[in-house]
Amino acid sequence: SQQGEEDPQALSIQEGENATMNCSYKTSINNLQWYRQNSGRGLVHLILIRSNEREKHSGRLRVTLDTSKKSSSLLITASRAADTASYFCATGPTTSGTYKYIFGTGTRLKVLA
């Protein structure tokens, strides 16, 4: 089964608006991470939230985690054109102690100037 399914698949907003992306997963996790990928580049880590945390902030980013619903959300406030990218959630490593991170298909965000 696939972990880390992001919703929506694509999102287009105006500069200055907030962008919210959601992630659902299926099994128990130790932590959940969000990454950004600009076109033609590798993924860049944004923020990590542990399973015993409910909310975390980093600059204009706010991440929530609901382990009872197996879901997380990423909020980007006051978006900028430079935020245009794909955003991925990733679960892992699994409790087995391996380094097996599982990523979703991502949300493509387009911020219009």
Partner 1 sequence: ETGVTQTPRHLVMGMTNKKSLKCEQHLGHNAMYWYKQSAKKPLELMFVYNFKEQTENNSVPSRFSPECPNSSHLFLHLHTLQPEDSALYLCASSQGSQPQHFGDGTRLSIL
Its sign, for the CA torsion 15, 24, 31, 107, is negative
Whole-number CA gyration radius for the chain: 14
Mapped onto helix, strand or coil, the DSSP state of residue 98 is coil
Which of 74, 52, 58 lies closest to 4 in space, CA to CA? 74
Position 30 contacts partner 1 (CB under 8 A) = yes
CB 106, min distance to partner 1, A: 8
Complex with partner 1: residue 61 or 103, whichever CB lies closer: 103
Element (H, E) at 100: none
Assess 88 for contact with partner 1 (CB under 8 A): yes
43 binds partner 1 (CB under 8 A): yes
Rule CB under 8 A: choose which of 49, 74, 102, 111 binds partner 1: 102
CA-CA distances (angstroms) from residue 97 to 28, 38, 45, 76, 101? 13, 30, 21, 31, 11
Which is nearer to partner 1, 15 or 70 (by Cβ)? Answer: 70
Stretch binding partner 1 (CB under 8 A), from 17-25, 41-49, 60-68, 74-82: 41-49
User: Would you tell me which residues interact with partner 1 (CB under 8 A)?
Assistant: 2, 4, 30-31, 33, 35, 40-45, 48, 88, 93, 98-105
